[in-house]
Amino acid sequence: MALEIDQAGGLTEINHEDLVKSLQKLENPSKHTPYDQKEWKKSELKPGKYEQVGRPEGWETWDIDKRVNYSNEKRKAKENQT
């Protein structure tokens, strides 16, 4: 969605009704997974910041669709473990 908003020229350029429809299609935007300290480590590149353990190499260069797909797959795998 962020990419669509950006490509449209920002929130002011998007049709409100289309935005609402897109938001309603989201799987479950208010569902959060619990924080697990084992999943995070101090960043070696950014002092004072944390990054997720096991984040794939080159993550910073991925486009938004690839990042979202990866995150969704990781969340589904985590849900299936519980």
9 pLDDT exceeds 80? Answer: yes
Residues near 43 by beta carbon (within 8 Å), at least 6 away in sequence? 49, 50, 51
pLDDT tens-digit readout, 16-63: 888 888 787 776 656 666 778 888 888 888 888 888 888 788 888 888
Looking at residue 33, what is its pLDDT?
65
Work out whether the CA dihedral 67, 73, 79, 82 comes out positive or negative: negative
Looking at residue 75, what is its pLDDT?
80
Whole-angstrom distance, CA of residue 48 vs CA of residue 25: 36
- Global pTM value: 0.43
Q: Of 2-6, 8-12, 29-33, where does mean pLDDT reach its minimum?
A: 29-33
